[in-house]
Amino acid sequence: MAGGLQETPDWNNDWHGVNRSGLEYGTDDAWVTPDFLTYFSSRPDVEVRPLGTMNAGNNNIPGAALGDVILYDWDGQGEVDHAAMIVGFDGEYPLVAGWSENGSSALTYPRRGWTWSEQHDTWLQDRPGNENMTATIIHVRTEDEALEGI
């Protein structure tokens, strides 16, 4: 199992590459964000739901759950640029954790609001170039949800 999913030639943790920071990683489907979305979109046990254009006044994600993945398209051009995992909630506002390679340095955030940039102290969609930012949520159904037909 890789991340709770059955390992396949497309989804596994066999090391096959090294990024510019010298870290080893698994298949591109498990590592490269656009491939990640394509892979999960093909699975029957996964719900992929576009959240649309970002709006600072609409920060809640109805139905979001711990472990869901949020994919960000910074410029709204249809190409996924970043992913973060929901690790908690502040009321109904999802909190995410993630890691991002930024040239030769890595940025980590163990917990932040899903629409907030602590690094830049602003809403993500208010950053220059992000005015048309969109997001998508990925939810892998649990065995219980599959049995209930959810």
Domain residue spans of the chain: 46-148
Long-range contacts of 67-70 (CB under 8 A, 24+ apart): 67/140, 68/94, 68/137, 68/138, 68/139, 69/36, 69/40, 69/137, 69/138, 70/94, 70/96, 70/114, 70/135, 70/136, 70/137, 70/138
Question: Can you tell me the distance from the alpha carbon of 65 to that of 73, in angstroms, rounded to the nearest whole number?
Answer: 21
Find out whether 39 and 32 touch, Cβ atoms under 8 Å. no
Q: Which burial class, exposed, middle or buried, applies to 133 when counting CB atoms under 10 A from its CB (0-12, 13-18, 19+)? A: buried
pLDDT at 62: 87
Structural tokens at position 88: 């908690």
pLDDT at 50: 92
Residue with tokens 């969109």: 134
User: With the CA atoms of 26, 32, 37 and 39 taken in that order, what torsion angle do they form, in degrees rounded to the nearest 10?
Assistant: -40
The share of the chain scoring above pLDDT 70, in percent, equals: 68
Whether the per-residue pLDDT at 65 is higher than 90: the answer is yes
pLDDT at 14: 57
pLDDT at 97: 87
Whether the per-residue pLDDT at 60 is higher than 60: the answer is yes
More confident residue, 91 or 20: 91
Q: Which helix (H) or strand (E) holds 100?
A: strand 93-102
